[in-house]
Amino acid sequence: MISKKRMFEIFERFSKSKVLVIGDLMVDHFICGHVSRISPEAPVPVVEVTSESYHLGGSSNVINNIFSMGGKVHVAGVVGEDLAGKWLMDEISKVVCDTNGIVTDTERPTTKKTRVVAHSQQVVRYDKENRDEINNEVENYIVDYIRTKLREIGAIVISDYNKGVVTKSLIYKIKQLLFETNSKVIVCVDPKKKEFEIYQNFDVVTPNHNELEQAVGREIRKEEDMILAGNLLMNRYGFKALLITRGEKGMTLFEQDKKPVTIPTVAQEVYDVTGAGDTAIGVFSLAMASGATFPEAAVLANHAAGIVVGKIGTATATKDEMERFFYKLKRG
């Protein structure tokens, strides 16, 4: 689906391409250790902590993956006025063109997911968050920021984690803005809403298996079920493409008036799937902004996801890793 020469042509354009990411900015907090005893206070393991780390999570991880590939990235989202928000702003400022699209909301905390991991197994996760929808004033600020960037970007990613930023109202306002400006910017959506009609006429939507089931309202057990579901969404909502991420089964790409194509996974070893979807949509959108076709972008996204699942925690893939990975596969 993509030659070595063509891959390098797309890679060469990464540094000149810009993507705007809109969505739920989060902190991924990992506490790692080992367990050797059970608490005398309750039947729970006692984790003796050996390390602690913080990472860009949610939409922030999409941003980080685009940056790691050499792309330029803008961001729109919300953080709280707290220590997590300050850490997030400091880290994001290292990878984005500017932070003017980020709103600090004094009435909500910065979303932080804390995972306690022992012996490479997650023991528990606890979240600090407020999932109330952002207000009209914040929505309008984000839309105004998008307006200022439309002429310089090649793609938009709407990264929804159901934390309150990607409201139905915001989506409709973005659609209206794109219509009013007659923008040709590619819009890629990582969906969380069950009602797929709100994504109607966006260019690309990238549901996973569970999100696909929710969108069509039925269980998907067989390959034929998945094909029928994908075609149903394509015909009903007018997407230009639908990229279904399927874990160990790879990805399946649907395009208008074409047969669906399944791209097998290229992961050699799977240690942690955390953030693999962020990597996929980040690389996919950057490839589209760089002039790739839908199949070419899907292959590159699949390669990148195959790299990050071989790493522990919230991770990114780099352009150098992609090049080495591609050569290795071609030789094998």
Residues taking part in catalysis: 278
Between the alpha carbon of residue 152 and those of residues 92, 185, 186, 286, 296, the distances in Å are 20, 10, 12, 13, 23
Instruction: Please answer whether residues 73 and 18 qualify as being in contact, where contact means their C-beta atoms are separated by less than 8 angstroms.
Output: yes
Q: Which residues pair with 20 in a beta bridge?
A: 74, 156
How far apart CA 293 and CA 256 sit, in angstroms, is 13
Q: Name the nearest CA neighbour of 69 among 95, 101, 99.
A: 95
* Alpha helices (runs of H) in the chain, residue ranges in sequence order: 4-14, 59-68, 83-92, 136-149, 168-181, 209-216, 223-237, 276-289, 294-308, 319-331
Residue-wise burial string across 287-313, b where 16 or more C-beta atoms lie within 10 A, e elsewhere? bbbbebbbbbbbbbbbbbbbbbbbbeb
Radius of gyration over alpha carbons of the chain, in Å? 20
How far apart CA 105 and CA 316 sit, in angstroms, is 28
